[in-house]
Amino acid sequence: MKILNFGSLNIDYVYSVNHFAEKGETLSSESLEVFPGGKGLNQSIALSRAGGDVYHAGVIGTDGKFLGELLCDAGVDTRYLKVSEDVRTGNAVIQKDKNGDNCIILYGGANQAVTRETADQVLKNFDEGDCLVLQNEISEIPYIVEKARERGMQIVLNPSPMNEKIFEINLDHIDCFILNEVEARVLVRAARDAGKEILLKRLRKQFPHAEIILTLGEKGSVYAGTEGTAVQKAYKVKAVDTTAAGDTFTGYFMSCILQGKSVKESLDMAAKASAMAVAVKGAAPSIPKRDEAERFAEE
């Protein structure tokens, strides 16, 4: 089975601050670091490092060629990665506070230059049973979902960043949702204080044929789907940078599932890998290799 991640690639500008800037506040940063990033890139690296056969499709500008090289170094096939001379690579401005938490502003750039023609050229190389992984950072996602469904692909959606564009997608075509509580509340239009039990119940009712993985940050994650339910604890580490935690979890979980691991085994491996990721600076550089995650020992 081949895994196609049709996703974003960004250049991340990370500013270390004492606290997040508030309305009207001018804040001096303690440092600036530049890292490769983008939810698509991060998830492709996690998918590959967890042992998956991964192809990455997307668009970068000439300023982002090093991102393609990074994917190749991580074992990702980049034959479907397009370089555009007309637009800059997408980027993210990230505030990281002293606790390792972050606040992110995205500029789509080349990620918004994905066309239907590009999508058709990529998808014709994949068949029934192959897996498509998507986030919400590139253009033409509704079209990509429709065409992937026509080809019989399994479709996994991480609806992040969550905005109204998500509702342009035929969500009944999604086979697996991996999302956090904030994203889940928007998706099922629940109250801001709705807890995991309510969210899971409403997600299962709205998408009865889909697998649901709800991530809960330091409280772990829960699964509800065809294999019943499962609860996974979060492994405790000293957080340095949480930027790639969710992407690492998504990539590891899907890679393990597609390699035949059980839901509980996949959740546990994803939890270990994401714990390791938050203990290291940067997004893509923080994603561990499979053998490192397997050797992980909780503090």
Q: Would you list the domain boundaries of the chain? A: 3-19+30-291
| pLDDT attached to residue 17 | 95
**How many Å apart are CA 45 and CA 56, to the nearest integer?**
9
Question: Strands 10-16, 54-61: parallel, antiparallel or unpaired by DSSP?
Answer: unpaired
Residue type, 5: N
Which CATH number describes the domain made up of 3-19+30-291? 3.40.1190.20
62 is written with which tokens? Answer: 């000439």
| pLDDT attached to residue 299 | 54
Catalytic residues: 247
**How many Å apart are CA 189 and CA 184, to the nearest integer?**
8
**Which residues touch 84 (CB under 8 Å, ≥6 apart)?**
59, 60, 61, 62, 110, 113
- Determine contact, residues 154/1, Cβ cutoff 8 Å: no
Tell me the per-residue pLDDT of 76-110, one tens digit each, with 9 for 90 and over. Answer: 999 999 999 999 999 989 899 988 888 888 899 99
- Determine contact, residues 145/155, Cβ cutoff 8 Å: yes
| pLDDT attached to residue 282 | 79
Q: Which helix (H) or strand (E) holds 3?
A: strand 3-6
Closest to 160 measured CA to CA, from 241, 40, 68, 252: 40
| pLDDT attached to residue 242 | 87
| pLDDT attached to residue 102 | 86
Ranges of the chain whose pLDDT falls below 50: none
User: Which DSSP symbol is given to 289?
Assistant: P
| pLDDT attached to residue 35 | 87
Closest to 231 measured CA to CA, from 247, 215, 244: 215
Answering whether pTM is above 0.85, one says yes
